[in-house]
């Protein structure tokens, strides 16, 4: 089975640190229409932080400052094994745009739990909602 490494960013709303950026996958993508944290595949030779900075430029049109690792998991879908790492990130310049998603929004962990998320992210939502994952 194919295995990929992906990185995602926990990006706080600059005006409300209790809300974080999430995006809805495109309708023609795998796991279509589901919500996830911004990020993407780690390319060969990239660090997790470098991949997240690149994805911020390509998918959101923002420059990110990337901090420490907050959480990680391995999730097996029927077609794919995903190694997911979550890093704290902050928007340095720009306003997020949905360049690689059909929608983006800032949401609290409680609001996120009402959205249909990718299966790999569900344990993270639970951890965020209970405070088990630090958000800074």
How confident is the model over 22-74, as pLDDT tens digits?
999 999 988 999 999 999 999 999 999 999 999 999 999 999 999 999 999 99
Confidence (pLDDT) at 136: 63
Confidence (pLDDT) at 37: 97
**Range in 19-23, 79-83, 84-88, 123-127 with the lowest mean pLDDT:** 123-127
134 pLDDT above the threshold of 90: no
pTM of the model: 0.94
3-state secondary structure of 29: coil
Specify whether the CB–CB gap between 121 and 37 falls below 8 A: yes
Distance CA 48, CA 70 (A): 12
93 pLDDT above the threshold of 90: yes
Confidence (pLDDT) at 29: 83
Tokens of 97: 């745009």
Specify whether the CB–CB gap between 76 and 61 falls below 8 A: no
Q: What mean pLDDT do residues 77-97 have?
A: 96
Tokens of 65: 């400052």
Tokens of 64: 């990110």
Return the CATH number of 3-130, one of 3.90.79.10, 3.40.190.10, 3.40.50.1820, 3.40.50.1370: 3.90.79.10
105 pLDDT above the threshold of 80: yes
Q: What mean pLDDT do residues 67-88 have?
A: 95
């Amino acid at each position: 089975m194919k295995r990929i490494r992906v990185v995602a960013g926990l990006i706080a709303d600059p005006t409300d640190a209790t809300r974080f950026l999430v995006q809805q996958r495109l309708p023609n993508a795998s796991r279509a229409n589901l919500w996830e944290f911004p990020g993407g595949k780690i390319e060969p030779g990239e660090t997790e932080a470098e991949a997240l900075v690149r994805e911020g430029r390509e998918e959101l049109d923002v420059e990110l400052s990337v901090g420490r690792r907050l959480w990680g998991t391995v999730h097996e879908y029927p077609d794919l094994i995903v190694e997911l790492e979550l890093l704290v990130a902050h928007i340095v310049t720009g306003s997020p745009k949905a360049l690689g998603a059909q929608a983006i929004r800032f949401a609290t962990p409680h609001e996120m739990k009402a959205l249909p998320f990718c299966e790999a992210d569900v344990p993270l939502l639970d951890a965020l909602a209970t405070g088990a994952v630090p958000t800074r």
